[in-house]
Amino acid sequence: MNLSSRDVQAFLVLAKQKNFTQAASMCHLSQPAFSALIRAMEQTVGLKLFDRSTRHVVLTREGERFLQSAERLAAEFAACERAMRDTAQLAQGHVSVALLPSLAAGWLPEVLKVYTARHPGVLLGVLDVLSEPCIAAVAN
């Protein structure tokens, strides 16, 4: 089974809107393309997720069950995107700094204080080592 985040999002929008035309518009798709996407999704999962009529759309019992999973999936997708964006912007992650012991005690504490204030989600590792172990430590 290969559902994409787009499939899950389309399902959630249709479940909320209960109208193919409105849901298609919200997903920036034509109504026929949106209908085809939902139909393909139902074929992928092997279940009818919506009961359709000319006036309204309602979730089937299977669709109601899938809705709970789809909401969790959408939340996980969003959390994953946020985590990747935060990592890319150094809002979270891990930074290792290695330097000679004689330098570690001088100016470094103030620099680290400023850095951690600006990037509270970044875990800093400070290693005071000699030159050869220093290169290996930062590489790891």
Q: What is the average pLDDT across 16-25?
A: 95
Please tell me the pTM assigned to this model: 0.64
Q: What is the average pLDDT across 67-71?
A: 95
Q: What is the average pLDDT across 48-61?
A: 91
Report the pLDDT value the prediction gives residue 84, as an integer from 0 to 100: 82
pLDDT at 128 over 80: no
Report the pLDDT value the prediction gives residue 6, as an integer from 0 to 100: 93
Report the pLDDT value the prediction gives residue 95, as an integer from 0 to 100: 81
pLDDT tens figures, 29-42: 999 999 999 999 99
List all residues 6 or more positions away from 30 whose beta carbon is below 8 Å from its beta carbon: 24
List all residues 6 or more positions away from 110 whose beta carbon is below 8 Å from its beta carbon: none
Query: pLDDT band for position 15 (50/70/90)?
Result: very high
All domains in the chain, ordered by first residue:
5-87 (1.10.10.10), 90-139 (3.40.190.10)
Report the pLDDT value the prediction gives residue 51, as an integer from 0 to 100: 95
Report the pLDDT value the prediction gives residue 134, as an integer from 0 to 100: 63
Residue 123 φ then ψ, to 5°:
-85, 120
Contact 38, 50 (CB under 8 A): yes
